[in-house]
A and B are shown apart, each in its own frame.
Chain A
Amino acid sequence: MAENQKILVCAGTGCASSGALPIIDILKEEIKRQGLEETVTIVGTGCQGFCEKGPTIVIEPQHVLYTRVQGEDIAEIVASDVMKGERVERLLLLDTETQKPVTKMSDIRFFAKQHRIVLKNCGVIDPQRIQDYTLRDGYKALEKVLKEMKPNDVIEEVKKSGLRGRGGAGFPTGLKWSFCQQTPSDKKYIICNADEGDPGAFMDRSVLEGDPHSVIEGMLIGAYAMGVDEGYVYCRAEYPLAIKHLSIAIKQAEEAGFLGDNIFNSGFNFRLKVFAGAGAFVCGEETALMASIEGKRGMPRVRPPFPAVSGLWGKPTNINNVETWSNIPHIIRHGAEWYAQFGTEKSKGTKIFALTGKVNNTGLVEVPMGTTLREIIFDIGGGIQNGKAFKAVQIGGPSGGCLPENMLDLSVDYETLTNAGAMVGSGGLVIMDETTCMVDIARFFVNFSQKESCGKCTPCREGNKRMYDILDKITKGEGKIEDLDTLENLALTIKETSLCGLGQNAPNPVLATLKYFRHEFEAHILEHKCPAHVCSALLSYSIDADKCKKCSLCAKNCPANCIKGDKNTPYVINQDECIKCGTCMDKCKFGAVSRS
């Protein structure tokens, strides 16, 4: 039995929703029952990244990962692994190739190919204890900055590191800071944009939940560099756990003297407030975000003036997102050269991606910039679920683009993805397989954008609605071939004339799917067929009378009640009433239901 063991239970939002919180209680109970309180520490951590396999726990120092742990597994884990050092094999992860259980966490392919800088502490420390952070060199970078560096030195260091904004646009962070620093004013603000709104992206939430002090420290360093004494974290209200952990962290940092007046006796003052957003996607846009903090409707305004000149309450303001701020302490601690060794020539460092969709290992992965899509999806992500074929990957959320298989070897960096018609964006990667209809996907994302459009500028408000109308028509088999030209022209006009990034990028999914999957559009229009069998208006279900065993399962489960038959007569679907939900096909045990 190892001395001083630690059991790290993931208590991030993902694992919490798959039942991690009761496990912590059961585990505590069990450790107490076994009289191990002196030697075994239980830590509720932030996201460990492997959300697909949650709840996950890690036992240290053995460095063992147990996945999909349930309450009834706890006694066994404690009895075998903790007390005897014997692995509970059935809870270990199987290697995707060898199909053998992996005992050491670092050997798991999902983790092996990652390089964790921002996520270094996530899943390892208790985010509600500031000591956990300081023990891992937390606030050392702040101390270094305040004691050894001038504001300009800090900005130079960040510039040298090559760090670019992780919120999507990829603007060089150091340069952005220098603009704010150079604007003279009696008052300036910095803001952390934690209004993570892309469907499928959750890296900012995980960082705030799992390592909130790293964001606070990053902001403190930025505040010092830019001459700012007040900051906000604008966090979407849908992230209660992130807000809770952040608020606890702010309070602890204040008590420890890292926030407040005269920090480290340097004369530097900084105060930080958390502002819960009101739930609009567009508030991720910096000018809309500031309007929202000011108590106004979250609507973007034209730039210039840029926030660095006139931002919150008309004062110079710098905004970076969670991941960007969180990179800062690492850059300061290890130096710009160290940071710049990761990544490509123009895109330095690492980037966190949120892998979702039809991929085996959904979760958070942090990789150096320049890693290929194939590595991320197949090596780290473990490939496509259920042995299906890969079809496309949507990168950068609803404003990104869908890339097909022949682009999987593209390097993930700002320029390459933008040139391909997608974008790094906030780092959402939605993986689609052969059962995904690309017209339907374009419709889905445009629908998201048109509903989230703030309504201010004409092309975004009216144009996205009409793009949606056209796509909807096509998925229903009512499209005309001229619609594709209308769609493309409209998409380009929206892109070129919209006020903010939401409108300028909303047509990306349409333009990219038109570019790479035009044949699917044409199949819907010319052949009235949905190749992926998704668009219900173009589908029909029928029952093969020969294969039908007259078990009645299809009829009993049909929500439209439109399947008739009896013990003696094979079941038949009334096509007029069929809503094409596919339930009959799923329920039939004999493969008698077919779709065309």
Chain B
Amino acid sequence: MEWFTITIDGREVSVPKGTTVLEACRMNNIPVPTLCHDPELTPSGACRLCVVQIEGMRNLPPSCVTQVAQGMKIETQNPKVRAARKTILELLVANHPLDCMTCEKMGNCSLAEYAYEYGVKGDVFAGEKRDLPVDNANPFIIRDPNKCILCGKCIKACTEIQGKSRLDFSFRGFNTQVGPAYNIPLNESDCDFCGSCVSVCPVGALTEKQMAGKGRPWEVTKVQTTCPFCGVGCNFDLNVKDGQVIGVTSNPQAPVNGKALCVKGRFGMDMIYSSRRVTTPLIRKDGVLVPAEWDEALDLVASKFREIKDAYGPNALAALSSAHCTNEENYLMQKFMRAVIGTNNVDHCART
């Protein structure tokens, strides 16, 4: 591989050919703000927040789409660059509701983070703001176009990750919006509700409805795990607050799926708390299932199994193990049947 030596903010570093300036900065822990960039998506160079100054180049090139060249001299923090970034942030904030206190994204909002860093108050270009209806008609996603900064990541996620292209820009100039065709509510569109758009939104324009009001990012513990539904084996993070699962977020490190999930994986986890859950042992007494203590239930099962084994032999017992339980549990089940009961009568729904 060919390596280039470049200078970033006076520091000489080596990076492989084909690296973007942004990647080169991040590899070397040099912070560059971005709103429209995501490593899983093709770069669009739309937000222009990542501009830097490069010696010999006209204007301020966006680092996310500019590839390094041998000997390139880059400045990421000089006054000109910072002033341009500040103006861009001022422009975005001027057209953004400042209801941050009640915004679901508070604490996890890239726009707020950079506005804070660059001292943007939103007073420079005070003027007209958008006033578009919020789409809240579906069970999964709240879409607030007034908070949208038009970074286009949701569109790219829908197109490039999902291969669906259900979202795009409409109208022009200041009136530009993102939405499904004809800007109809999502539930009337062909949207599958995979939620990939939500997973990439840097602001509060796309948020999980089920998690609304359930917790702030700093109160939440994320636990990576594997989806319990189909055989693809997507990983995601369970978001836990006060011992309760409040929702699911994508984990970009997930080996199979990255940020992609389907509607079930992302939005179906309320089934953990379904009213259909059994949370205590039940024993049939006089034809009716009634609650029981564990000891009673386990003793009953053990004695019945022993009784039947003694009376009819081990092959009068069988078990259905589970394609929904873990490997360890399946191992234990077949070991239980083979070593404890003494039969090979163990099978599971292997074929569905």
A302 to B333, CA, bound (A): 58
Contact with A along B77-102 (1 / 0, CB 8 A): 00000011001100110110000000
Residues 121-141 of B contacting A (Cβ, < 8 Å) = 124-125, 127-128
Residues in A whose Cβ lies below 8 Å from that of B95? 462
Residues of A within 8 A of B172 (CB): 280, 282, 451-455
Given contacts A455-B176, A466-B127, contact A461 B150 (CB under 8 A): yes
The yes or no answer to A160 lying at the interface (CB within 8 A) is: no
Could you tell me if A456 and B60 are in contact, using CB atoms closer than 8 angstroms? Answer: no
Contact with A along B94-127 (1 / 0, CB 8 A): 1100000000000000000000000000001101
Q: Which of B38-64 contact A (CB under 8 A)?
A: 43-49, 51, 59-60, 62
Complex formed: what's the CA distance from A2 to B51 in Å? 70
Q: How far is it, in angstroms, between the C-alpha of A499 and the C-alpha of B36 when the chains are bound? A: 13
- Interchain CB contact (< 8 A) of A466 among B84, B125, B168, B171: B125
Residues on the B chain within 8 Å of A499, using CB: 45-46, 48, 62
Q: How far is the CA of A486 from the CA of B87 in the complex (A)?
A: 10
B: contact size bracket: 35 or more
A458 and B92 form a contact (CB under 8 A): yes
Task: Give CA–CA (A456, B92) in the complex, Å.
Answer: 13
Residues of A within 8 A of B171 (CB): 455
Stretch with Cβ within 8 A of B (4 or more), from A44-52, A368-376, A489-497, A569-577? A489-497
A394 within 8 A of partner (CB): no
| A6, B8: Cα distance in complex, Å | 71
- Evaluate contact between A458 and B46: CB separation under 8 angstroms: yes
Within the complex, which residue of A297, A457, A459, A465 is in contact with B174, where a contact is CB–CB below 8 Å?
A: A465
Q: How far is the CB of A449 from chain B (nearest CB, A)?
A: 8
Select from chain B the residue with minimum beta-carbon distance to A450: B173
Does A464 interact with chain B (Cβ within 8 Å)? yes
Residues of A within 8 A of B127 (CB): 465-466, 469
Majority secondary structure, B binding face: loop
Q: Which of B48, B128, B150, B176 contacts A497 (CB 8 A)?
A: B48
Q: Is the CB of B173 within 8 A of A457?
A: no
On chain B, the residues within 8 Å of A453 by CB distance are 172-174, 176
Chain A 275-294 interface mask (CB, 8 Å, partner B; 1/0): 00000101000000000000
Cβ contact within 8 Å between B174 and A461: yes
B128 to chain A: which residues have CB within 8 Å? Answer: 465, 469
- Contact indicator A462/B168 (Cβ below 8 Å): no
Any A CB within 8 A of the CB of B202: no
Given contacts A462-B92, A466-B91, A497-B84, contact A302 B62 (CB under 8 A): yes
Query: Which residues 458-478 of A sit at the B interface, judged by CB distance below 8 A?
Result: 458-459, 461-466, 469
A493 touching B87, Cβ below 8 Å: yes
Evaluate contact between B44 and A464: CB separation under 8 angstroms: no
Whether the pair A457, B45 counts as a contact (CB closer than 8 A) is yes
Bound CA span A355–B68, Å: 45
In the assembled complex, which residues on chain A have CB atoms less than 8 Å from the CB atom of B51?
496-497
Q: Smallest distance from the beta carbon of B112 to chain A beta carbons, Å?
A: 16
From residue A238, how far is it (CB to closest CB) to chain B in Å?
Answer: 16
Judge if B169 is at the interface, Cβ distance under 8 Å: yes
Residues of A within 8 A of B46 (CB): 456-458, 499
B168 engages A458 (CB within 8 Å): no
Query: When the two chains form their complex, are residues A497 and B94 in contact, meaning their CB atoms are under 8 A apart?
Result: no
Inside 8 A of A280's CB, which chain B residues have their CB? 172
Q: Is A426 in contact with chain B by the CB < 8 A criterion?
A: no
Closest to B170 in A: A297
Q: List 10 A-B contacts (CB under 8 A).
A: A301-B44, A454-B176, A455-B172, A455-B175, A458-B150, A462-B94, A466-B127, A496-B51, A497-B59, A504-B59
**Nearest 9 A/B pairs, CB to CB:** A455-B176, A462-B91, A302-B45, A465-B174, A453-B173, A493-B87, A466-B125, A496-B59, A302-B65
4 other contacts beyond A297-B169, A302-B45, A458-B88, with CB at 8 A cut-off?
Answer: A301-B45, A453-B172, A455-B150, A455-B175
